[in-house]
Chain A
Amino acid sequence: MGTPYFPGCTLSTKAKNFDQSGRAVSEALGLPLVELTDWQCCGATFPLATDNSMALIGPTRILIQAEQQGDRVATLCAICYNVLKRTAVALREHPEQQERINWFVSTDATTAGLNYQGKVKVVHLLEMLRDDLGWEALTQRIASVNGANKVRGLKIAPYYGCLLLRPPNEMMLDDPEAPTLMSDFLRALGAEPVEFAFQSECCGSYLAASKPDVSQGLSATILQQAARAGAQALVTACPLCQYNLDKRAGSERAGARLPVLYFTQLLAVALGLPQAAWALDGHYIKPDSLFS
């Protein structure tokens, strides 16, 4: 058993540390993730025009694959989560669109003869921790770990970014203006959540490629505000946020040199998993000293 899992492109390349720590913690908590046997890129952006069928084909193929393996698909990446979840909502609300895309993909090599039935629920691992496991159970699990909890007492700023929570009426995960999901998660780990006014502000996203000064400015403000609120590190669920913030923090003109961790890395540490599962490699600002 286990939950069908869509790693996505970034977690297979630039953010392998997110994937590794994610698989390790879900295994340890009895929520194993089973990678889809055959998957492709989700497209990484949900189309702004609802009749843009082309952009929905990629994510629909993933939903079809998931439907062969179960009634859910789990993601770690906030961007994949956003694209898949909004696609599932769009197809549910527009049956004619679902029919059109099904007609298209039925001739496709990977999904030949298959139709999307509209049954897949797209879930994020944070959502599984909250709803499948529960914060109380996670707290107890952390408390039962042998040895010192290296996360206990750390002041961590939760950073949601844009796509994990927005648009709220489609994502239905938490209130984007006053979220508590990551703070609850951090408390369950024994860490001290440092809420700040920029926890769901934009990091600049893809502007890192086209207008780096804009994204650098936005990321610097987020880092500075987290530092001023007293945070020792930030935690995120998005590889692009992690990249933008971490790179900015590591730059010479950085506002604040804060490590930026994936929530799965922090969880792996709190669970006392072997250091390989922490997957703390590949950071501009090395987070290791937090746990020494």
Chain B
Amino acid sequence: MIKRALVIGGGIAGIQAALDIANSGYEVVVVERLPSIGGHMAQLSETFPTLDCSQCIMTPRTVEVGHHENIRLLTYSEVVEVSGSAGDYAVRIRRKPPYVNWDLCTGCGVCQEKCPWKAPADFDRGVGVRKAIYTLSPQAVPNKPVMNPEVCVRLKSLAAGEKPKCGLCEKVCPTKAIVFDQAESMVEEHVGAIVVTTGYDLYPAARLPEYGGGRVPDVIDALAFERILAASGPTGGKVKRPSDGKEPGQVVFVQCSGSRDPEHGMPYCSKICCMYSAKQAILYRHRVHHGQPYVFYIDVRAGGKGYEEFINRAQEDEGVVYLRGKVSKIFRDGDKVMVWGSDTLSGRKVEVAADLVVLSLAAIPSAGSSDMQKVLGLPGDDNGFYASVEGELEPMSTARPGMFVAGCASGPKDIPETVAQASGAAAKVLALFRTSGNRPGLREADLAGLPQPEVVAA
């Protein structure tokens, strides 16, 4: 039994699981695909139902992961191969080249300041722009930049075999950390247990052509609206719509955009939308006092501590208008976005001439989940999430011993439930480690000299 753990995915679930295991005295390797940890929680403005600043409550945890003596953090990396069995999994991890020597880089940020090339930032869901060399946010852990080879003019000129262009970052970097010819590398880790916390993504708006198909600029998804509301976001927390930067006076929130819709292949409830939309509507009202938010919903699902009260607050104290009915069509009409829906409580067809529409797109398994399931040898469920071995009593256990799943990787969850599962998965890992006699950190090679268990011939 190798008493080290691997955590795949550095969102709040991975962070919590890693800290719980690391603080119990065992080593943890955290692999994150993006340049820094924090996941979707790092994109949020405030959390429901307390309206805490998301970054503020998470930053102590991300920083702890970054500095923990028992945690080896591999960001901008992906698990590509897993072999072995519980107690000794061999894991191959591909490290993408950031084109920056992170050992030399001090995170001063001057390269990002001077870089002249910009592209839409996917961290900001396309609302904002970022430089060709970037960190995801000012609070990034690790606070080291990466270069986007599709945007960086120097890297593109090198890839095309042309005369090298630009190179401004290299000139201004005080520690000579820029490495344009950096190649990807592979590392191998041996662990006894694996926690999968690969999270979720949003259903692509392009697959909802009846809602504009992602082609109407003022129809955005809820994560984009989080970035607009976030004080550290692309608009500095000012509510501006993407098309013309104007403050929207009428905002429509559309629940179940793809969720609870077998026609689109997602029969399940995404679980978090009712609450975050109420939160977003409230935050919008706090920023735009004369603004009118509308929420189209099928029914409001507010099961959770303080959740029902929060919805009541939105409806009764904050002036959010709730319309019970599905939206049938969203289209651009001049500088307005027309929303056609129904109000099934009054039995009438409703048309809202909105300035901004926020879609609560279905939460789906994060990109690459089905590939990762193949790498891990774990089955997916009907909707592509990780299948638990027994949903009710063993929600964090998978079909393979020593592999556990937590958070949205196994289905949509809010932050408290995600964190609870992450701690639960960590406890499962610790129990596995404690029931085996070997000392922490021992590898198979280290076991060679120790007494071996007797093998009884069949």
Residue in A178, A198, A225, A228 whose beta carbon sits within 8 Å of that of B209 in the complex: A178
Beta-carbon contact of B329 and A178 below 8 Å? no
Using an 8 Å CB-CB cutoff, how does the interface string of A157-172 with B read, 1 for contact, 0 for none? Answer: 0000000000000000
Number of interface residues of B (CB under 8 A): 8
Does A177 lie at the interface of the complex (its beta carbon under 8 Å from any beta carbon of B)? yes
Does B331 lie at the interface of the complex (its beta carbon under 8 Å from any beta carbon of A)? yes
Using an 8 Å CB-CB cutoff, how does the interface string of B328-345 with A read, 1 for contact, 0 for none? Answer: 010111100000000000
Give chain B residues whose Cβ lies under 8 Å from the Cβ of A225.
Answer: 333
Cα(A285)–Cα(B331), bound, Å: 28
Does A35 lie at the interface of the complex (its beta carbon under 8 Å from any beta carbon of B)? no
Does B213 lie at the interface of the complex (its beta carbon under 8 Å from any beta carbon of A)? yes
Does A197 lie at the interface of the complex (its beta carbon under 8 Å from any beta carbon of B)? yes
Does B210 lie at the interface of the complex (its beta carbon under 8 Å from any beta carbon of A)? yes
Residues 175-229 of A at the B interface (beta carbon under 8 Å): 175, 177-178, 197-198, 225, 228
Q: Which residue of B lies closest to A198 (CB)?
A: B331
Q: Which residue of A lies closest to B208 (CB)?
A: A177
Give chain A residues whose Cβ lies under 8 Å from the Cβ of B332.
Answer: 197
Beta-carbon contact of A197 and B331 below 8 Å? yes
Tell me the smallest distance from the CB of B207 to a CB of chain A, in Å. 9
Using an 8 Å CB-CB cutoff, how does the interface string of A130-152 with B read, 1 for contact, 0 for none? Answer: 00000000000000000000000
Cα(A225)–Cα(B334), bound, Å: 10
Residue in A175, A197, A228 whose beta carbon sits within 8 Å of that of B329 in the complex: A197
Q: Which residue of B lies closest to A196 (CB)?
A: B331
Beta-carbon contact of A178 and B331 below 8 Å? no
Cα(A161)–Cα(B331), bound, Å: 17
Cα(A198)–Cα(B209), bound, Å: 12
Using an 8 Å CB-CB cutoff, how does the interface string of A52-93 with B read, 1 for contact, 0 for none? Answer: 000000000000000000000000000000000000000000
Give chain B residues whose Cβ lies under 8 Å from the Cβ of A197.
Answer: 329, 331-333
Tell me the smallest distance from the CB of A217 to a CB of chain B, in Å. 12
Give chain A residues whose Cβ lies under 8 Å from the Cβ of B213.
Answer: 177-178
Interface hub of A177, A197, A198, A225 (most chain B Cβ within 10 A): A197
Tell me the smallest distance from the CB of A258 to a CB of chain B, in Å. 18
Interface hub of B209, B213, B332 (most chain A Cβ within 10 A): B209
Using an 8 Å CB-CB cutoff, how does the interface string of B196-221 with A read, 1 for contact, 0 for none? Answer: 00000000000001100100000000
Give chain B residues whose Cβ lies under 8 Å from the Cβ of A228.
Answer: 333-334
Q: Which residue of B lies closest to A178 (CB)?
A: B209
Using an 8 Å CB-CB cutoff, how does the interface string of B292-335 with A read, 1 for contact, 0 for none? Answer: 00000000000000000000000000000000000001011110
Q: Which residue of A lies closest to B213 (CB)?
A: A178
Q: Which residue of B lies closest to A176 (CB)?
A: B209
Residue in B209, B331, B334 whose beta carbon sits within 8 Å of that of A175 in the complex: B209
Tell me the smallest distance from the CB of A248 to a CB of chain B, in Å. 19
Give chain A residues whose Cβ lies under 8 Å from the Cβ of B209.
Answer: 175, 177-178
Q: Which residue of A lies closest to B211 (CB)?
A: A177
Cα(A178)–Cα(B331), bound, Å: 12
Cα(A228)–Cα(B331), bound, Å: 13
Tell me the smallest distance from the CB of A196 to a CB of chain B, in Å. 8
Tell me the smallest distance from the CB of B253 to a CB of chain A, in Å. 20
Cα(A198)–Cα(B330), bound, Å: 11
Cα(A177)–Cα(B207), bound, Å: 9
Cα(A178)–Cα(B211), bound, Å: 11
Give chain B residues whose Cβ lies under 8 Å from the Cβ of A198.
Answer: 331
Q: Which residue of B lies closest to A177 (CB)?
A: B209
What are 14 A-to-B residue pairs whose CB atoms are below 8 Å? A175-B209, A177-B209, A177-B210, A177-B213, A178-B209, A178-B213, A197-B329, A197-B331, A197-B332, A197-B333, A198-B331, A225-B333, A228-B333, A228-B334
Extra contacts, 12 of them, besides A177-B209, A197-B332 (Cβ < 8 A), are A175-B209, A177-B210, A177-B213, A178-B209, A178-B213, A197-B329, A197-B331, A197-B333, A198-B331, A225-B333, A228-B333, A228-B334
